[in-house]
A and B are shown apart, each in its own frame.
Chain A
Amino acid sequence: MTPELSTTSSSRTANAGDMADAAVSRRLSHLRQLEAESIHIIREVAAEFDNPVMLYSIGKDSSVMARLARKAFYPAKLPFPMLHIDTTWKFKEMIEFRDRFCAEHDIDLIVHTNQEGKKANINPFDHGSNKYTDVMKTQALLQALKSGGYDAAFGGARRDEEKSRAKERIYSFRNRFGQWDPKNQRPELWNLYNGQLTRGESIRVFPISNWTELDVWLYIHLEKIPIVPLYFAKKRPVVEREGILVMVDDERLPLAPDEVPKEELVRFRTLGCYPLTGAQKSAATTLPEIIREMLLTNHSERSGRLIDHDEDGSMEKKKREGYF
């Protein structure tokens, strides 16, 4: 044994009190622990699957997931592309943010739109939010995954978002039709993920499953992660419909004769398609103010999204059909 080694081992046979002190000084905060786990998951998928892709929704959760992915492979670039499902009804600022972000970090971006749906002019006004979401989001996503031949797709869903997500696994298996069977998921123990696929199967992977909305915001704050400006309060043109403030992002939003857009100081808690995403009145223009508002409002974040209230257990239904 070299002298150097014997010193190391003698310092390690210190008494229990010292061991405890050493453990406390080497404590990882919950955010760093969540970060380490998410990076582990992302690397594991990159190593075990042939053709992964990361779904990028441009929202805050996606921004955190993209940061974690960059950390996982630093100093190398991402070994997989990012995929954005463009319904053509996203906020303009989201698209600008997306393009800037991917260019800055040399990320391979794939943008997919359901062309048949686009031709048929499927939109949230004439066809209702259910049909529109099915065609322009769910079907579009399944098309893109199929045409890319991806065997693993990362998503930024969190288990605290909705009750049905509480039981979702990190590796969520989909049959060849992209459907989820909540009764037939594999048990997940420790950090040992079973990535063996049967022909035609694919998985959705949720590396930030264990993060809560507060964790996501705290991490964005700690890491100074850029997010779409729509999260911050600003004067924006809105109309009020059934108690929900809808932003007039472009001229395609049909206005009733008595509807006149008003400039209001508003911001968004979640981002999606602008006609389906409610704004909230707010004066929060900094991250700490946003977090304060979130904590004090104490409202489920998805209550701002119209698609969840259609019927009881609605998210679970959508998920079985392939929606994230």
Chain B
Amino acid sequence: MDQETELIERDIDGYLVMHQEKELLRLVAVGSVDDGKSTLIGRLLHDTHGVYEDQLHAVKKASTQEGMEIDFSLFTDGLVAEREQGITIDVAYRYFSTVKRKFIIADTPGHVQYTRNMATGASTANVGVILIDARLGVLQQSRRHAYIASLLGIPHLAVAVNKMDLKDYDEGVYRAIVDDFTAFARQLRFKDVQFVPISALKGDNVVHASERMPWHKGGTMLDYLERVPIAEDRNLKDFRYPVQYVLRPDLDYRGFAGEISSGVIRPGDSITVLPSRQETKVAGIDVFDGELAEAYAPMSVAIRLEDEVDVSRGDMLVRTGELPHVRDCFEAMVVWMNQQELDTEKSYLIKHTTQTTRVDVEAVISKTELETLEAHSVDTLGLNDIGRIRLRTHRPLYIDSYISNRKTGAFILIDSLTNATVANGMIIEPEVGVSQMPRADVNEPARSVRSQVSPKERGNRLGQKPGLVILCGAPASGKSAIAYALERRLTDLGRVATVLDDTGQGTSQSVRMFAASALFHAGLITIVSAPTDEVDRKELATLASDAAVEVWVNTPASLCRKRDHRGSYDQGAPAFVEPSSPALSLSLADLAPELAARKIAELLEERGLYSQ
């Protein structure tokens, strides 16, 4: 700072010009409780004059550890409750700057249960800084941190091998850790990994080069943070512009305000509006200071279009010919962030760019065990779990894979009851999705093989909830007539329904069960019209549990006899056991089959059985 101080005193205008042109770098610092992360951050802030004199004074006063002048970790310890517990339990943001760059540090705790906080801090980071205690070497926890950093798409990783002072600044110790970690990091997706041997406590190689480690030629931690190239990390290739807000100050002006997620745009460029797919050209790019000849990510601008096309918030402008995927079904890696575990029966909200819409989790495909970093199949995800899921949104989204675009490949899930942010997600490239599936375990016993597609999932594809309608009643009471009328009615309502009619065919119960099960599992609204007894009906209903509805066609025996043409009534009224608790009871004496069908359809709707 001494040169800097001198510059400030001598030439403040020159200093201001230099500082106006700085770059912004975000880093996330992760480490375990005792590996000195707070001390490293405190040291960075202190040695770059990022703390104020009175803060320094307060910290000096509060430093209690013996034999130490300043407890650097106190600069970063936050809320009162946390200070009392002695651990940080949330994400805190710190700021410092040098002549070259302004730095935003997301300070996140490294316990295993706090995956959530690390994901939060990592989501916007350009650089991840992982601390490794030189005495302990590469722990499972270090691998976990690196994996999460890679999952969240951080391009650059810096590994600070800390507490070198406690290992006599031994190069061998450092080399072993570098080799160990490098072997592991090859599996991850970082552009580059930089190692720095440091002592945060003593200040070696943090801001000032260490004289005690002359063997290290790679520069200090600050050197690295000032130099690592980050401008190229942006996606400047694919123009993506989610519309945030429509500006209409008067009848003549219509501008679409937003932040450019990726890419470059100029007036005259051809663009396509999603979802309408209308094509037009950019008429102008406006900002407060005037019109721009070119705009690029991550600028916030307003775009005017040449034609009067319909555009509103949630729509996306893209360059014609460079469309994102327009999908309502895709797979993603998610970090689950809520105490309440994922519930595939529940409908969540998804926020993706400037769109918020309802979404169903169609399937939980796998969970990544953080101990082994291997994927296993599971039914649900709980707090701090990382897993792969398949989603179906109620409106199509305009998506890219997270690897190619950190803005249009990202989303959050919101619990629509509690409004909590329950998960964050990174979209997997739709095309390559299949090849990334976890490999089958050859030792898995054959008996566990069953359909991986649930009736609900198929129903979603058809835009409905599958259901089972069981029509029962005495022979010739009108079951089949009502069944076909209901099939017609539901089809007219846009549902996919079919009738399983074995009246008078002598079908066995096992065949009937097999057929009903196949149709129901195919996601259809299955209407069974069968001469069944109470036990058979109960068995049928278990196929669909809550989605089963029993309807009693209670046509009077006299009318049945008149309708009968199979001779069922020739030897007197045949035996029929009345259902004990039908959901609905109706008679052809009162209603034509079409009206009866309408009543049943209304009941289904009331119960939410066929609509999503």
Contacts and interface: CB of A to CB of B under 8 A. Distances in A.
A15 to B, nearest CB: 13
B576 interface: no
Max chain A C-beta neighbours (<10 A), residue from B117, B229, B236, B244: B244
B337 interface: yes
Interface stretch (A81-89, A128-136, A210-218): A210-218
Interface string B1-38: 00001001100110110011111100000000000000
Interface of A is mostly: helix
A23 B354 CA distance: 25
Interface stretch (B412-420, B455-463, B530-538): B412-420
A296 B8 contact: yes
Nearest to A169: B91
B101 interface: yes
B184 to A, nearest CB: 26
Nearest to A292: B12
Contact of B419 (A44, A197, A222): A197
A40 interface: yes
A218 B16 contact: yes
A296 B5 contact: yes
B259 A29 contact: no
Contact of A31 (B20, B247, B406): B20
Nearest to A309: B54
Interface in A25-50: 26-37, 39-40, 43-44, 46-47
A70 interface: yes
Interface residues of B, number: 91
B78 A167 contact: yes
A19 B296 CA distance: 14
Contact of B257 (A72, A159, A164, A188): A72
Contact of B296 (A26, A44, A296, A303): A26
B247 A295 contact: no
Interface stretch (A1-9, A51-59, A108-116, A271-279): A1-9
B53 A192 contact: no
Interface of B is mostly: mixed
Interface stretch (B172-180, B297-305, B441-449, B493-501): B297-305
B95 interface: yes
B546 to A, nearest CB: 28
A100 B327 CA distance: 51
A177 to B, nearest CB: 18
Contacts of B354: 44, 47
B116 interface: yes
A121 interface: no
Contacts of B286: 74-75
B79 A164 contact: yes
Contacts of A47: 244-245, 313, 354
A266 B537 CA distance: 91
B146 interface: no
Given A12-B237, A70-B288, A167-B91, A187 B424 contact: yes
Nearest to B349: A196
B259 A191 contact: yes
Interface in A72-120: 72-77
B300 A39 contact: yes
A36 B287 CA distance: 11
A321 B349 CA distance: 31
Contacts of A76: 247-249, 253
Given A30-B101, A36-B299, A197-B419, A189 B412 contact: yes
Given A29-B23, A36-B298, A194-B414, A212 B80 contact: no
A32 B270 contact: no
Contacts of B416: 196
B237 A28 contact: no
Among all A-B residue pairs, the 6 with the closest Cβ atoms:
A30-B24, A76-B249, A300-B52, A39-B300, A189-B123, A196-B419
14 contacts: A5-B320, A24-B231, A26-B231, A74-B286, A182-B81, A182-B90, A187-B119, A189-B119, A189-B412, A197-B419, A215-B102, A289-B12, A291-B12, A298-B52
Given A26-B294, A192-B424, 8 more contacts: A28-B299, A31-B20, A160-B95, A166-B107, A188-B421, A198-B418, A300-B52, A300-B54
Interface of A: 1-2, 4-5, 8-9, 12, 19-20, 22-24, 26-37, 39-40, 43-44, 46-47, 70-77, 159-160, 163-164, 166-167, 182-183, 185-192, 194, 196-198, 209-210, 212, 214-215, 218, 221-222, 288-289, 291-292, 295-296, 298-300, 303, 312-313, 316
